Amino acid sequence: MNDAKNLHVIPGGECRWEIPRFGGMRVSAVIYASEKMMKDILKDNSLQQVINVAHLPGIIAHSLAMPDIHWGYGFPIGGVAAFDMDEGVISPGGVGYDINCGVRLLRTNLMAHEVRGRIKELINALFRDVPTGVGSRGQIKLSEHEEKRILSKGARWAVEHGYGTSDDLKHTEDGGCMEGADPSAVSKRALERGQRQVGTLGSGNHFIELQVVEEVFNEEAARVFGLHSGMFVLLIHSGSRGLGHQVCDDYIKEMNRMSGQLGFDLPDRQLVCAPVHSTQGESYYSAMACAANYAWANRQMLMHWTRETFMRTLNISPSALGMELVYDVCHNVAKREIYTINGEQRMVCVHRKGATRAFPKGHPDVPDDYRAVGQPVLVPGDMGRHSFVLLGQQKAMEETFGSTCHGAGRLLSRHQAIKACKGRSIAQELERQGIYVQAAARGTLAEEAPEAYKDVVDVAEVVHRAGISTKVAVMRPLGVIKG
């Protein structure tokens, strides 16, 4: 990576590296990583993508990357960038194809040892009841009118139709509904793809994972979030399915047709973009918000059906199960947010591509009952190791536009992972570790093998040491269904 030859550790910065401005870069690039992790990061083209993002008009402060960085479309996955509302741009590649791919953590009244002998039964029941895999169809088919209501109302639509409670909305980022959504900005093809997929898990790295809280690091925050050691909890990871993919594809094609009118040269065609306040930029934002709302409705319904499956399988009442939402965060989104920049309050357009919001205590967008400690940050690992609950910190507001990591981050491409796992049974290997898995497609477990990912313990340690989000608790998997 010749373009990263000036990469150096920032003096006084904990786990922060910088590539100073050169060539057409408008700002420097800052990467959060340990020295050990940087050796792997240098093996792919992701740092060049961080440099490329630094070329875009209106970018503020730095082009940023979290420790789970790896190569993506346009922006690296793990990339964060904020743009001026007047001079900046919005880029579909800075959000990603799976708009509002995100994760929600559910706590229960159960201790892990109480259900340890029934993990297989629960996983098999979830695999039967929750549609998974490529092109999977949900339990309901939406009319176009109702689908557009979902795009406008997000998780609120699901709750209004009996899929959960208002408390779920309180503990969902943005209340499960992003402002600015306009269904007229969504294509007919995107609507068609979304009609049968709401309430489905999807494929690839999407999952429902049964876990035990293994260790608590911050007792106060854990108590506020209702978590304690030994508790049986679940993570649900899914996104906007085919609808979000189509929205991204539609606007990339549209912006490519108009790229000659941008007035500047793109360092990479995958960074195709439009001025934030242009007709095209506003239209993309409105369609992206619709896809984000679809994703929140999707996860809300997945949670509802998961809760029903547990009650039926365990023959347990809702109050005895006590399955409640701790929090839901999104990973792939662009948002209009206010930050203090050079001593002034300014609204900017923050792109988070495989990155998580990490707001600190006292922030008005943190739920009332969590505001005294800060926003929960959910960081899933791979299906063979750990996941973390972190806590948003003020330093994130000062350094990363309220952002932190979103997961472990890939080490191997899917093709490399399949090659590395040839002749092995990943399911049997995991079961020997006490983790029972089910997957919709034969190749999924190889693509998602633990060795295909960085160790999330290393990722969490970097952001903890850097002070942008700090460790609250770590969970260990017991059983997983994969798309």
pLDDT of residue 180: 96
Instruction: Characterise 61 by phi-psi region: left (phi > 0), alpha (psi -120 to 50), beta (else).
Output: left
**Contact 105/376 with Cβ under 8 angstroms?**
yes
Does 92 map to a domain? no
pLDDT in tens, 144-200: 999 999 999 999 999 999 999 999 999 999 999 999 999 999 999 999 999 999 999
Domain CATH number, residue 117: 3.90.1860.10
Rounded to 5, what percent of the chain is helix, strand, coil? 40, 25, 35
CB within 8 Å of 315: residues ≥ 6 apart: none
Residue of 145, 406, 415, 464 with catalytic role = 406
Q: How many whole angstroms separate alpha carbon 292 and alpha carbon 167?
A: 20
- AA letter at 312: R
**Contact 348/341 with Cβ under 8 angstroms?**
yes
Does 268 map to a domain? yes
Task: State CA 21 to chain mean position distance.
Answer: 29
**Ranges of residues in the chain whose predicted pLDDT is under 70:** 1-5, 133-134
Taking each helix axis from N to C end, the angle separating 279-314 and 119-129, rounded to the nearest 10 degrees, works out to 130
**Contact 78/70 with Cβ under 8 angstroms?**
yes
Q: How many whole angstroms separate alpha carbon 255 and alpha carbon 246?
A: 14
**Contact 30/16 with Cβ under 8 angstroms?**
yes
Does 453 map to a domain? yes
Q: How many whole angstroms separate alpha carbon 28 and alpha carbon 51?
A: 8
pLDDT of residue 2: 46
Q: How many whole angstroms separate alpha carbon 447 and alpha carbon 426?
A: 10
Tokens describing residue 306 = 């998961």
Tokens describing residue 274 = 């439009």
Does 93 map to a domain? no
Q: How many whole angstroms separate alpha carbon 69 and alpha carbon 40?
A: 10
Does 95 map to a domain? no
The strand pair at 102-111 and 77-84 is best described as unpaired
Instruction: Choose among 311, 476, 290, 468: nearest CA to 394.
Output: 468
Does 91 map to a domain? no
Facing residues of 337 across strands?
A: 348
Q: How many whole angstroms separate alpha carbon 291 and alpha carbon 154?
A: 9
Q: How many whole angstroms separate alpha carbon 332 and alpha carbon 286?
A: 15
- Under DSSP, the state recorded for 97 is S
Does 94 map to a domain? no
Tokens describing residue 337 = 């947010």
Q: How many whole angstroms separate alpha carbon 96 and alpha carbon 100?
A: 9
Question: Can you list the pairs that 333-337 forms with residues at least 24 positions away whose Cβ atoms lie under 8 Å?
Answer: 333/95, 333/99, 333/100, 333/178, 333/288, 333/292, 334/90, 334/94, 334/95, 334/285, 334/288, 335/178, 336/85, 336/180, 337/401, 337/402
Tell me the three-class secondary structure of 107-165, residue by residue. EEEEEHHHHHHHHHHHHHHHHHHCCCCCCCCCCCCCCHHHHHHHHHHCHHHHHHCCCCC
| 113 is an active site residue | no
Facing residues of 338 across strands?
A: 347
The residue segments making up the domain with residue 25 are 2-85+100-482
Give the number of domains in the chain. 1
Is residue 331 packed enough to be buried (19+ CB in 10 Å), middle (13-18) or exposed (0-12)?
Answer: buried
Does 393 map to a domain? yes
Tokens describing residue 30 = 């800052």
The H or E element that residue 35 is part of is helix 35-41
